Amino acid sequence: MSVEFAHSDGSPSADAFPSARKRRGRLSDLRRVAAGADPKAAFPIELLELYAGSRKAAMPVMVALAVVVAATSSLWVPAREVVVWASLAFVVSAVLYGLSIVFLDDGAKSVGTVGWRVRFVVAEAIHGAVWAVMLVMLLKSGHANGSAFALFVLLMAAASTAMVASAIPTAVYSGMMPLTIAIVAFMRPGAQWQTLTLSFMATGALLNFAVLAARLHATALRGAGFRAEKDALITELEEAKLASDIARHRAEEANLAKSRFLATMSHELRTPLNAILGFSEVMKGELLGPLSVPAYRDYCVDIHSSGQHLLSLINEILDLSRVEAGRYELKEEPISLSEILDDARRLLDMRSGAKGIAISASIEAGLPRIWGDERAVRQIALNLLTNAVKFTPQGGGVEVKVGWTQLGGQYFSIRDDGPGIPENEIPVVMSSFGRGSLAQKNAQEGSGLGLPIVKGLIELHGGRFVLKSKVGEGTQVVVIFPPERVMDVLPRLDPQAPAAGAGMRGGRRAA
């Protein structure tokens, strides 16, 4: 399916998709046809294709049947007449086969569906007439076995016509009509009782095959309806998928434009903010002379602290924008998780001590370095540890762990015994500018960017971020680095041992 767009921004034109009303109407009609509620409805092209395919496939069988009938009929019918009949049968079969081939190649382009239907009906009538001629020759022979074999010929001809031409009921009736006429001609007054019995049996068989052909046609019609409905549904699904892809593309472009805008504005805001911070710090320290009014000094302190808070917020927005826009470049080097966590813990000692919070650390011994961006990992650790201290109540505790994962990677986790986060709010706090109800209720400082930044930075390292929390039991965050970022430690060289290449365990880098 192809859809042309009329707008340069990727939005579809007004007539790119069929209207919903037309689609529903089309599907409703197809369902009525498939259910048999509308017996007059038809699929001309599909039924003609079904007929042509069946007639083409039946060609070898019909030729073989004609050969068998001709060879057997020579027992009661003169050989010259049998040869003439066989030649006619081959010619008619070849005509039917050729018409089927031409239609399947050409479709209804040349003469239309009505023209092809007429051709097939006429060809079936001629085909039935040829078999009726053999039937008449066998019945005229007067031989009992010949008359019995005539019934076999009638059954074979009628059965093949009913099954092969069932897609076109008119073709079935035109093909059986010469056979019926031949049988009725022998049901004349004064005919022998054996002939009459045979004629009645043949007539009953013809009626039975006509009913069978009608049922096969109804089945073919329902099958065509089901296929058309399936095609319509597939088209509708493709259109819906295309519309969804367009909407997703627009959303991605809008999100990228937003991230670029935030990144640009963050840079533009930092320039005047640096001047505010610098001048307010000079005035606060009275470097160029004392301030005559003491309140001015307090104002300078407030201006400087507010500027620092605004700078921190801008830095967070800039980091998040760069991560979302895919413009955050990792400056990778060998780093130690245990050292980074220990530094972060020391930086927060003063803040945690003011609240009486004890930060304990459990670090596995002998951990090798990992390959990562030290600034990004430090920011991850500081953000998470700051959140833990912020939401831990007075006199509480924070537990830090660093160790191996089961797959050979490294992790660190930070657990606090704070109030926890309701399960339905976890997606909120993980979204940009999202804050939980507890932070809003207690008027906690924060922009709601810390956790999204952490998640983005750890995903840039190919790792995972896990947040587990229960109300009243605290919160645990786990940062997992993949095994391929863990570096092997080179073995100590033995001066007495022969030189050998130091391999890397598990395909990791060597420090």
Q: Which residues pair with 466 in a beta bridge?
A: 478
Sign of CA dihedral 242, 246, 249, 255: negative
Long-range contacts of the stretch 236-245 (C-beta < 8 A, 24+): 236/23, 236/27, 238/1, 239/1, 239/3, 239/17, 239/18, 242/1, 242/3, 242/12, 243/12, 243/17
CATH, range 254-324: 1.10.287
Position 200 scores a pLDDT of: 67
According to DSSP, residue 182 is labeled H
Neighbouring C-alpha atoms within 13 Å toward the C-beta of 254: 7
Handedness of CA 58, 61, 65, 66 (dihedral sign): positive
What pLDDT does 44 receive?
Answer: 77
Lowest mean pLDDT among 36-40, 214-218, 499-503: 499-503
Phi, psi for residue 510 in degrees, rounded to 5: -100, 135
| Assessment of whether the complete model's pTM goes beyond 0.85 | no
Domain residue limits, the chain: 20-243, 254-324, 333-485
> Tell me, what's the pLDDT at 394?
87
The reported pLDDT for the residue numbered 160 is 84
Question: pLDDT at residue 187 above 70?
Answer: no
DSSP state of 506: G
Average of per-residue pLDDT across 15-33 = 50
Stronger pLDDT, 71 or 292, i.e. the higher one: 71
List C-alpha distances in Å: 100 to 48, 67, 94, 382, 478.
9, 22, 10, 79, 70
Lowest-confidence pick of 75-84, 259-268, 382-391: 259-268
Q: What kind of architecture, by CATH, is found in domain 333-485? A: 2-Layer Sandwich (3.30)
The average confidence (pLDDT) of the chain is 77
Give the residue carrying structure tokens 């079969």: 93
pLDDT of 8: 46
Low-confidence winner among 100-109, 415-424, 434-443 (lowest mean pLDDT):
434-443
CA dihedral (268, 272, 273, 275) positive or negative: positive
Mean pLDDT over 386-404 rounds to: 89
Higher-confidence residue of 265 and 188: namely: 265
Return the higher-pLDDT residue of 194 and 487: 487
Task: Please state the rounded mean pLDDT for residues 125-137.
Answer: 89
Amino acid at 188: R
Q: Above 50 in pLDDT, residue 490?
A: no
pLDDT over threshold 60, residue 447: no
